[in-house]
Amino acid sequence: MPKPLEELRRDIVDVGKLVFQKGWVAATDGNISIRLDGGRILCTPTGVCKGMMRVDDLIICDMEGRKIEGCRDRTSEIDMHLTIYKMRPDVHSVLHAHSPVATGFAAAGRSLNMALLPEVVIGLGCVPLAEYGLPGTPALTEGMLPYIPQYDAILMANHGAVAYGENVHQAFCRMDTVEHLARVTLVAELLGGAKPLPRVEVRKLFNSRDRYGVKSNTGMLPGAPLTAEDLPPSEKMQLTREDLISILDDALRARGVLT
């Protein structure tokens, strides 16, 4: 039994408040949508702070992004939502935010591609980084096209992140996982480097998905999270004091500083 429209409107408003309170959006950033029946999309409009949004601020668009109901204007980012709905019939809600740590990774040109945390490997596999595309143009989604079929959350270079799922609560939880993974990865890097799980453990986690009722198109496929075996061997080396002095002597002699 599909939920009544009024309930879906309230779901978006409630999730919008959470997204704002969690600091995932600044000012009027971000957008949330739900797929309705009849090729219609219920979505947040442009120019409204997600923390102060009301149910009658929401608008309804068709699958070409034309507004068919509501007073406010559509967001230019609706095209990204529509692309995801068209490519993924299983997706019924899309959430786009600029959560600061995940967006930091996206701004540094880094994906969240390591198998670090069991629940993330089970739920998302990993989070790829799509190439930058100018907001408000088709280029915004072009870089995401290769990733949409396989992944349920994507970082958008120099922009933010998007997560999607069967309903708005699953889309929200997936975005929460992305931001959490970004924070944990950052802390691990500050503490000397993230250490991914070994491949045998990652395989066990993928195999446990049925037990947890998790559906995902990721797995031990190209684009799987990097395991301990996938990382290059550490370039750290150990030198004695004598070794170091001899290297420095050689270097100084080569430059004619020592004779």
Minimum gap (Å) between residue 177 Cβ and Zn ion: 19
Q: Residue 95 or residue 205: which is nearer to Zn ion going by CB? A: 95
Q: Which is nearer to Zn ion, 153 or 194 (CB)?
A: 153
Site residue total, Zn ion (CB under 5 A) = 1
E strands in 3-58: 31-35, 40-43
Residue 155, both tokens: 């970082």
Per-residue DSSP letter, 210: H
Minimum Å gap between C-beta 107 and Zn ion is 13
Considering only residues 155 through 214, tell me which ones interact with Zn ion, judged by CB under 5 A.
Answer: 160
Q: Which is nearer to Zn ion, 35 or 96 (CB)?
A: 96
Q: Which of residues 147-166 bind Zn ion (CB under 5 A)?
A: 160
Select 31 or 170, whichever has its Cβ closest to Zn ion: 31
Query: Closer to Zn ion at the Cβ: 61 or 95?
Result: 95
Nearest to 116 by CA among 192, 189, 194, 214: 194
Distance CA(77)–CA(82), nearest Å, equals 9
Contacts of 229 (CB under 8 A, 6+ apart): 198, 199
Q: How far is the CB of 12 from Zn ion (least distance, A)?
A: 17
CB of 93 to Zn ion, least distance (A): 17
* 99 touches 182 (CB < 8 A): yes
Q: Which two tokens stand for residue 102?
A: 């995940």
Give the sign of the dihedral formed by CA 77, CA 79, CA 83, CA 88.
positive
Least distance to Zn ion, CB of residue 226, Å: 27
Per CB under 5 A, residues contacting Zn ion are 160
